[in-house]
Chains A and B, each alone.
Chain A
């Protein structure tokens, strides 16, 4: 009898374990994540976004509200692969919210659900957590977005099991739309297959790979290092013998070197958005890729 009572009590205790109250408070590192979580979470989530889509994703200007939002968040979703390395660790420490620390259910690193490219074979001896994990701009491969949507759906369902059916429904709707868009983008990008392009920063490698474009070179000699005259000279010489059609420029880096090259060698300078909000037309994930494709194919 006594065991039965204890057993019942335990059962009650487990069942009554407080589920996270809706709406779930989610903090997203970047606007594309904000859009993804809002798409899957619908009215069950309130999303706050830290970085701006038209800024350099490697830096943010911290405001007091960032700490407040992370402190009361149920879920923190980051892009990962060290894109946030410059600003997230101190923010996490200062917010002091045990629920969203790495390793917890409330912490989601989206880069873990995709395969990264440019992973260095050997990593030089550096400070503990700064080992390059590969190119972090993986979300610009539209096929990856489906994997990310799946990951977000699973995590929201785990945090809020009663809402799982709702998130699944939202995911199905999104996946259907997205698959149709994938066909459309593939079709539109087909004529550009094998086209040689130059990019300023290694922002668009995943996008280029997806649609079979060939990366001829980068304006930056190394990621994050401003162009040097020697590097530009080499690039110019190479492009004279093996021309490229486009120079892809992001909206936050200086474009003078790209303009110089484009003007001198007759290449087309294209400003490509790298995130939702980078240009006015890219207001959500769908229009982000619509706009990338439009700017390259128009």
Chain B
């Protein structure tokens, strides 16, 4: 294969590595749309930087807003029963906020797209390496402290690392690709009864990524959308045609 898609493929693997962990966690916690909400909050920070500071401190503002979004979700997840509704509203808040801010900025929308909506196909190798290093550090921190941490500290560790991860990932690959890599392999892995979920997610995700990249190259499909489509297709197929873990592991008769 030509080197055109090597960076895209490597990026999909780098993203998959850490997102599998978060994917499994957010599915277990039932806060699946958190990444969309946090991504949108990061976008709101970027839009604020474009409008008020002509695009200066864009990364800093995006990250700050993302962390604030993470904190809000963390609080909501503890306080309310209906946290998915709350997370959805946070997404809507960020989304509409971006449009309101940019409506006051001449050519702000173009600048916003240029800065925020990058395509996985166009990721430079340097950005990929940066992301890999940051994710390695975050991954190490999670590996060392996540199991041991308790209570508020555990929550803080989870949401801070998650906010940083999502902010970087969305800048590199766009909201949809990040969402697919986060949720689809984790969802499928959790339905497999054998092995460790995160390892299963890595194996499944890598295979799907490889197939998507080959499809995109050979059929000249937009790379990001092909990734999203393949991941979604596999996850949907499994959800529809493979009996779920619960119904087979704990048959209904057992309780009667």
Residues of A within 8 A of B (CB): 58-59, 61-68, 71, 82, 85-86, 89-91, 93-94, 124-127, 130, 132, 221-226, 228
Contact = CB atoms under 8 A, between A and B. Distances in A.
Given A90-B119, A94-B124, A126-B55, A64 B223 contact: yes
Nearest to A130: B111
B241 interface: no
A62 B119 contact: yes
B102 A225 contact: yes
B222 A85 contact: no
Given A86-B114, A126-B54, A224-B109, A93 B122 contact: yes
B200 to A, nearest CB: 29
B115 to A, nearest CB: 8
B98 to A, nearest CB: 13
Interface residues of B, dominant DSSP: helix
Nearest to B121: A62
A127 B220 CA distance: 33
A62 B107 contact: no
Contacts of A225: 102-103, 109
Given A85-B114, A130-B111, A223-B107, A68 B2 contact: yes
Given A130-B114, A225-B103, 18 more contacts: A58-B110, A61-B222, A62-B119, A62-B121, A64-B5, A64-B121, A64-B220, A67-B121, A68-B2, A68-B4, A71-B4, A94-B7, A94-B121, A94-B124, A124-B54, A127-B54, A222-B103, A224-B109
10 contacts: A65-B220, A68-B2, A82-B110, A90-B122, A124-B54, A125-B54, A126-B54, A221-B103, A223-B107, A224-B107
Interface in B1-60: 2, 4-5, 7, 54-55
B192 to A, nearest CB: 32
A82 B111 CA distance: 11
A228 B104 CA distance: 11
Closest 4 CB pairs of A and B: A90-B122, A127-B55, A65-B220, A224-B109
Interface residues of B, number: 29
Contact of A67 (B4, B54, B55): B4
Contact of B216 (A64, A90, A94): A64
A68 B121 CA distance: 12
Nearest to B99: A226
B253 interface: no
Nearest to A58: B110
Contact of B106 (A61, A85, A86, A222): A222
B230 interface: no
Interface of B: 2, 4-5, 7, 54-55, 99, 102-103, 106-111, 113-114, 118-119, 121-122, 124, 216-217, 220-223, 225
A46 B71 CA distance: 55
Nearest to A132: B107
A227 to B, nearest CB: 10
A70 B31 CA distance: 43
A75 B153 CA distance: 57
A161 B119 CA distance: 38
Contacts of A228: 103
Nearest to A71: B4
Nearest to B115: A127
A221 B99 CA distance: 14
Contacts of A132: 106-107
Contacts of B2: 68
Contacts of B113: 58-59, 86
A58 to B, nearest CB: 6
A232 B116 CA distance: 29
Contact of A90 (B107, B109, B118): B118
Which of A67, A71, A223 has the largest count of B CB atoms less than 10 A from its CB? A67
A225 B122 CA distance: 26
A94 B217 CA distance: 15
B57 to A, nearest CB: 12
Nearest to B221: A63
Nearest to B56: A127
A63 B118 contact: no
A231 to B, nearest CB: 10
A221 B217 CA distance: 41
Nearest to B102: A225
Contacts of B114: 85-86, 89, 130
Contacts of A127: 54-55, 111
B124 A64 contact: no
B96 to A, nearest CB: 12
A113 to B, nearest CB: 23
Contacts of A125: 54
Contacts of A67: 4, 121
A192 B111 CA distance: 37
A82 B217 CA distance: 29
A232 to B, nearest CB: 14
A41 B5 CA distance: 32
Nearest to A131: B107
A62 B109 contact: no
A65 B110 CA distance: 24
